[in-house]
Amino acid sequence: MYVETFYTAWPFVICIVMLFIIGIYCILATLNLIRALIGIEILIKGVTLLLVLVGFHAGRPALTQSLVLTFIVIEVVIMTVAVGVVLGIHNHHKSLDARNIRKLKG
């Protein structure tokens, strides 16, 4: 049983790890706020794939589907608010540089 699980899961595990690495790199290596949001989105897609993989191997597809659907809805709301904040910073500073956030007062 565990050998079959290993053979079916290792490509997904590799994809999950690659998504985590790419997402963290995008967040840490750039000062552009849009690129940082794209990195967060890639990282969240890795978490979603991890939830699907764990649910598949636990044998609880209904619970996994409901968790992933809820997670996607929460992700869309968070990204919408984040894009609104980034657009507000862009309108105020005419730049998407993350160093401009330190200049905000309020």
User: Which domains does the chain show, CATH number per domain?
Assistant: 2-103 (1.10.287.3510)
Q: For residue 1, what pLDDT is reported? A: 53
| pLDDT 10s digits, 11-24 | 999 999 999 999 99
Residue (of 74, 98, 77, 75) closest to 86 by Cα position: 98
Two tokens, residue 58: 């636990």
pLDDT in tens, 33-75: 999 999 999 999 999 999 999 998 888 999 999 999 999 999 9
How far apart (Å, rounded) are the C-alpha atoms in residues 101 and 50?
32
Please tell me what DSSP assigns to residue 56: H
Q: Check pLDDT > 90 for residue 81.
A: yes
Return the structure tokens found at 90. Answer: 């862009």
Two tokens, residue 38 = 């794209």
Burial of 23 (0-12, 13-18, 19+ CB in 10 A): buried
